[in-house]
Amino acid sequence: MAMQRYIVNFPRLSPDMLDIWKTVPSSIASDVQNRCQSMDARIKPCAPGMRICGQARTAVSMPGDNSMLLTACSLAEPGEVVVVAGAGLEEVALAGEWVVRGCKSRGLGGLVIDGSVRDLQEIRTIGFPVFAKGSVPRGPHKSFGGKMDVPAGVGGMVVNPGDLIIGDDDGVTVVPLAVMDEVLRRCLELMAKEKVWSQQLDAGKSLMEVLGVPEPEIVETPTLR
């Protein structure tokens, strides 16, 4: 299979808009999208505290091959997130120290892999945000082919070039480009509500009171003799 790069033109978010999005947790972005749009629970940051917020550039790799990942990491623009459809294969690492160093030096926004990585200690030292299913010593092959900037199935989600990727300790949520403005409005509204809920809980109100859970029906049990 040949390596193919598709030409895509999508609206780029302004730095000011990205700064607003960076305040939104992955859980909030999922909640306002009908509690959906979150990737496989096994796709997690390589170190606690890593965070991603940027628009996607996609790579679809042949299983166990990282040539399209290398291509995408070389061609993506600063701030963009390379999202790799690795077929969920966990037995082969598609990225390691050198990939991550290259991504950081180019100012990319992060790397999300539906598969594994290696050189975990070095990745943590470098500090560049990488999300993956796990780590394994076995490295990848190259030049078997793949595609860049096409719809990609990653962690159970369809990711298109330009979609917003939000990653934190909870995992990764995808915000489709077509609904980004409406989703952001709902996120900010929910975050404002949660701030009030937090204040009410700190003031001593119960979870039932704050979240509007109805009183349970009282059922009398027969007295045992």
Is 92 within the bounds of a domain?
yes
Q: Average per-residue pLDDT in the chain?
A: 95
Is 215 within the bounds of a domain?
no
- Band the pLDDT of 144: cuts 50, 70, 90: confident
Q: Is the pLDDT of residue 173 over 80?
A: yes
Is 182 within the bounds of a domain?
no
Its domain, for residue 159, covers 3-177
Task: Tell me if 97 is assigned to a ligand binding site.
Answer: yes
Task: Tell me if 98 is assigned to a ligand binding site.
Answer: yes
Over residues 120-142, the pLDDT tens digits come to 999 999 999 999 999 999 999 88
CA distance 13 to 184: 12
Is 173 within the bounds of a domain?
yes
**Domain count for the chain:** 1
Task: Tell me if 99 is assigned to a ligand binding site.
Answer: yes
CA distance 138 to 118: 8
Is 185 within the bounds of a domain?
no
Is 189 within the bounds of a domain?
no
Is 27 within the bounds of a domain?
yes
Over residues 80-114, the pLDDT tens digits come to 999 999 988 899 999 999 999 999 999 999 999 99
Mean pLDDT of 190-202: 95
| CATH number of the structural domain spanning residue 65 | 3.50.30.40
Beta strands in 24-156 (DSSP E): 44-45, 52-61, 81-85, 93-95, 110-113, 116-117, 130-132, 134-135, 146-148, 152-154
